[in-house]
Chains A and B, each alone.
Chain A
């Protein structure tokens, strides 16, 4: 199975900050990488697919980049509603494994 490793596991930041979360695959996956946001007690929500395509309705302050093994999720200017848990997921081959998650907290 492909292992997905996110870093950091948790991150403290302030409103207006620019933050970056990284995701590394244990083998090359092209651009078969998705990002999800999950708020406490809620289902995950798709943010980005295909490494960099923004899902409809997601604010443009969210951006994704990368290919092969290394990927990043960037939030250009943190808003209060962005403090949540973030997961990457590879869709290159089954099982479509997730990263362990990154908790984004208010500083």
Chain B
């Protein structure tokens, strides 16, 4: 059974930093792209970033580029999101998701339960 367990969320002041982790199990981690998706309270989903199997390619939504860094440790079956210069608008539940690739593009096949990040003074 695929399991994705996020951790590291919490309350942080504006301008602060936080590192999210996602522990993966139940599948061969280094075979898959991995993504972070967030959801502000009561709002829709926003794709944040993804990373290739070997970490050689990373992509970000413009609003986090230069502030967030996605990374992975395949030996530890773990995905990370280092967040800095945090803003109130970064307040959201952050989901880790496993990406799969089909004939017509990528899709997010499995999701963690999410971790809440609150940016407030």
Q: CB < 8 Å: which of A49, A50, A100 contacts B44?
A: A100
CB of A87 within 8 A of chain B? yes
Determine the residue in chain B with the shortest Cβ distance to A55: B109
Alpha-carbon separation in the docked complex, A32 to B45 (Å): 17
CB of B61 within 8 A of chain A? yes
Contact A32–B104 (Cβ < 8 Å): yes
State the main secondary structure of chain A at its contact with B. Answer: loop
CB of A72 within 8 A of chain B? no
Q: CB < 8 Å: which of B61, B102, B109, B112 contacts A95?
A: B61
CB of B62 within 8 A of chain A? yes
Alpha-carbon separation in the docked complex, A50 to B47 (Å): 18
Query: How many whole Å from A97's CB to the nearest CB in chain B?
Result: 6
Determine the residue in chain B with the shortest Cβ distance to A50: B104
Q: Of A49, A89, A92, which is in contact with the most chain B CB atoms at under 10 Å from its CB?
A: A49
Alpha-carbon separation in the docked complex, A101 to B46 (Å): 11
Q: Which residues of B contact A33 (CB under 8 A)?
A: 104
CB of A46 within 8 A of chain B? yes
Q: Which residues of B contact A32 (CB under 8 A)?
A: 104-105
Determine the residue in chain B with the shortest Cβ distance to A32: B105
Contact B106–A45 (Cβ < 8 Å): no
Contact A49–B95 (Cβ < 8 Å): no
Q: A53-B102, A95-B59 are in contact. Are A44 and B108 (CB under 8 A)?
A: yes
Q: CB < 8 Å: which of B47, B50, B62, B104 contacts A89?
A: B47
Please name 30 pairs of A and B residues whose Cβ atoms are closer than 8 Å in the assembled complex, sorted by A: A30-B104, A31-B105, A32-B105, A33-B104, A34-B108, A36-B108, A43-B95, A43-B111, A43-B112, A44-B37, A46-B107, A46-B108, A46-B109, A49-B107, A50-B104, A50-B107, A51-B104, A53-B102, A55-B109, A87-B45, A89-B45, A92-B105, A94-B59, A95-B59, A95-B62, A96-B35, A96-B47, A99-B44, A101-B44, A101-B45
A-binding residues in B (CB < 8 A): 35, 37, 44-47, 50, 59-62, 95, 100, 102-114
